[in-house]
């Protein structure tokens, strides 16, 4: 973590909260959660509201599918922290080998055609946003992705284009696989709103 104040917590209440959650969960609170508590009125509150709506709100996509989208945006942005974190949440509702197959090559992975089409759209949006054209949206819609489902996927793509950037700019500490597993339980139970 490049800004120690985020790791410590800004203010006594947040420091106590970070210590308490770390103690109860039996693991160091991941840096993503520390950011959510930091300078909260400026960023954590509005970011958490949109993230919670996109990742846990009503959607044609299951939670695991949205977590896989987040995981893939992280892969395309080379953010190891977010690949680990969101792959672990997806693996709570899918078989871990299937998650790994998606990460390796989503085109050949055992997922639905509409999810593959949404991921194909998100790949261009993430890596070559200026190349994104109506034909990419048309391809997703033609594959059975509804307009609402594509909007929901775009929201996930935009949010994790943001998250991955501050995660790596701040140099989040990398949890162990066991810590990702525990954090995934927390993310499923508590969600993203800070």
Q: Which residues of the shown chain bind other proteins in the complex (CB under 8 A)?
A: 2-6, 10, 38-39, 42-43, 45-47, 49-50, 53-54, 57-59, 77-79, 121, 125-126, 129-130, 132-134, 136-138, 141, 147-148, 150-152, 154-155, 157-171
And the tokens for 66?
A: 């949205």
Closest CB to other proteins among 27 and 66? 66
Alpha helices in the chain (DSSP H): 4-8, 12-25, 31-37, 44-56, 63-76, 80-90, 96-104, 113-127, 134-142, 147-170, 177-190
| N-terminal to C-terminal alpha carbon distance within the chain | 20
Closest CB to other proteins among 49 and 108? 49
Closest CB to other proteins among 35 and 187? 35
Distance CA 99, CA 68 (A): 7
Closest CB to other proteins among 25 and 48? 48
Burial class (CB in 10 A: 0-12, 13-18, 19+), 81: buried
For the CB of residue 133, give the shortest distance to other proteins in the complex, in Å.
6
For the CB of residue 52, give the shortest distance to other proteins in the complex, in Å.
9
Closest CB to other proteins among 102 and 150? 150
Distance CA 172, CA 164 (A): 10
């Amino acid at each position: 973590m490049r800004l120690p104040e985020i790791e410590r917590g800004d203010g006594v209440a947040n420091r106590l909260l970070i210590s308490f959650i770390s103690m109860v969960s039996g693991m160091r609170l991941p840096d993503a959660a520390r950011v959510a508590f930091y300078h909260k009125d400026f960023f954590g509150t509005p970011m958490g509201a949109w993230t919670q709506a996109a990742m846990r709100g009503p959607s044609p996509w299951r939670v695991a599918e949205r977590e896989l989208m987040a995981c893939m945006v992280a892969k395309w942005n080379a953010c190891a922290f977010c690949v680990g974190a969101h792959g672990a949440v997806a693996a709570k509702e899918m078989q871990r080998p299937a998650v790994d197959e998606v990460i390796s090559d989503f085109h050949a992975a055992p997922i639905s055609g509409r999810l593959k089409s949404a991921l194909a759209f998100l790949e261009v949006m993430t890596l070559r946003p200026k190349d994104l054209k109506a034909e990419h949206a048309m391809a997703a819609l033609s594959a059975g992705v509804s307009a609402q489902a594509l909007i929901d996927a775009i929201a996930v793509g935009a949010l994790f284009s943001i998250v991955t950037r501050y995660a790596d700019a701040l140099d989040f500490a990398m949890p162990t696989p066991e810590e990702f597993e525990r954090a995934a339980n927390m993310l499923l139970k508590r969600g993203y709103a800070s």
